[in-house]
Amino acid sequence: MKILVTGGTGYIGSHTVVELQQQGFEVIIVDNLSNSQAGVVDAIAQITGIRPVFEKFDLVDREMTADFFRRHNDLNGIIHFAAYKAVGESVDKPLMYYRNNLVSLMNILEGMIANNIPNLVFSSSCTVYGQPDELPVAETAPIKKAESPYGNTKQISEEVLQDTIKSSKINVIALRYFNPIGAHDSALIGELPLGVPNNLVPFITQTAIGIRQQLSVFGEDYNTPDGTAIRDYIHVVDLAKAHVIAVSRMINKKMKQPFEVFNLGTGNGNSVLEVINSFERVSATKLNYKIVGRRAGDVEKVWANADFSNKELGWKAEKSLDEMTASAWKWEKAYRSRS
């Protein structure tokens, strides 16, 4: 079975390529390396013993994308990760986000239709729920107005997909990720943000290793037990495994409808301070952090109702918070000692 993984050298993409190859799938990666490095392909080959095919080009380029699909018209499925994902940057550069995230999706869909490629797994986000009225949040919860252009690209993409399946033979599974953290146990692949990290865990590990001076904890006046914001952190390998299950479900024609949505979270919420405490415990280091004001656009608390994914996909996130922070730390140390 041949699967195209767009964004396959990125954080979640690379971990998914490893899981796919280990389950016997043949993988082709397309990535423009806008936020990742070609060396990730070597690392994947080192882990699995198989070098995935890698083509470097931009899926926003309609002609190049059409040409790619003409050359690879025998794909059994596509997992589409390639997208920009920094919330703050999307507020400053909305058109860059809309163009990149939406045009690439439309080019892929056109290629699928032209070449009768049936199955697409789409990377969506819990950001589509905004601040949910009910927690844990289930897939049936209403979609709230997006807090950022980035979040809006995920909402619009889900709508584009829903409209497209009605007039074509394409099937779609949209996976709504909560907060992926951690790294592969080999410490050969992991999260590698360019520049100053936006996200909590890479900021923690970079502070602990001395690249950043101090972590700012954004807000301690939220309506939560310790006052800091709560998220559902999920190990990236648990997340990657769900993609293999999703694409297999499509190929094996086990879908119940042509458009399905699944939450990918653990079902547990942890506060920022709980994540810091976990990190300090597993790394036996003291983290330099200070409490500052809230970050604009942050929701107070969100965690998944994962019952539907657990039941329908037969999948469950397995790793604990300590395992997640420990693996992130192992990766940070291994990466810095190599470079």
User: How far apart are CB 251 and ligand UFG at their closest, in Å?
Assistant: 28
For position 198 contacting ligand UFG by CB under 6 A, the verdict is yes
User: Which active-site residues does the annotation give?
Assistant: 150
Interface with ligand UFG in residues 235-274 (CB under 6 A): 272
Residue 49 backbone zone (phi > 0: left; psi -120 to 50: alpha; other: beta): left
x/- map, 217-236, ligand UFG, by CB under 6 A: xx----------x-x-----
For position 215 contacting ligand UFG by CB under 6 A, the verdict is yes
- State which residue, 61 or 323, has the beta carbon closest to ligand UFG: 323
For 275-313, b/e burial (b = at least 16 CB within 10 A) is bbbbbbebbeeeeebeeeeeeeeebebbbbbbebbeebb
User: How far apart are CB 303 and ligand UFG at their closest, in Å?
Assistant: 11
For position 127 contacting ligand UFG by CB under 6 A, the verdict is yes
- State which residue, 104 or 127, has the beta carbon closest to ligand UFG: 127
Interface with ligand UFG in residues 300-329 (CB under 6 A): none
Interface with ligand UFG in residues 11-70 (CB under 6 A): none
What tokens were used for 315? 């999948």
* Phi/psi at 94 (5° precision): -60, -40
C-alpha angle 7-57-127 in degrees, rounded to nearest 5:
30
Candidates 58, 61, 280, 298: give the one binding ligand UFG (CB under 6 A): 298
Separation between Cα atoms, residue 325 and residue 316, nearest integer Å = 19
- How many CA atoms are closer than 13 Å to the CA of 147, on its beta-carbon side? 18
Bridge-partner residues for 180, per DSSP? Answer: 234
- State which residue, 142 or 169, has the beta carbon closest to ligand UFG: 142
- Beta carbons within 8 Å of 232's beta carbon, 6+ residues apart: 126, 178, 179, 265, 266, 267, 268, 269, 270, 302, 303, 304
Candidates 200, 242, 244, 313: give the one binding ligand UFG (CB under 6 A): 200
- State which residue, 112 or 137, has the beta carbon closest to ligand UFG: 137
- State which residue, 21 or 207, has the beta carbon closest to ligand UFG: 207
For position 170 contacting ligand UFG by CB under 6 A, the verdict is no
For position 162 contacting ligand UFG by CB under 6 A, the verdict is no
Interface with ligand UFG in residues 80-119 (CB under 6 A): 85, 87
For position 203 contacting ligand UFG by CB under 6 A, the verdict is yes
CA distances (Å), origin 274, targets 51, 201, 253, 278: 38, 12, 41, 6
> Are 60 and 115 a contacting pair, CB within 8 Å?
no
- State which residue, 16 or 179, has the beta carbon closest to ligand UFG: 179
User: How far apart are CB 331 and ligand UFG at their closest, in Å?
Assistant: 16
Judge residue 169's burial from the number of C-beta atoms within 10 Å of its C-beta, 0-12 exposed, 13-18 middle, 19 or more buried: exposed
For position 199 contacting ligand UFG by CB under 6 A, the verdict is yes
User: How far apart are CB 312 and ligand UFG at their closest, in Å?
Assistant: 22
For ligand UFG, the binding residues (CB under 6 A) are 85, 87, 125-127, 151, 179, 198-200, 203, 215-218, 229, 231, 272, 295, 298
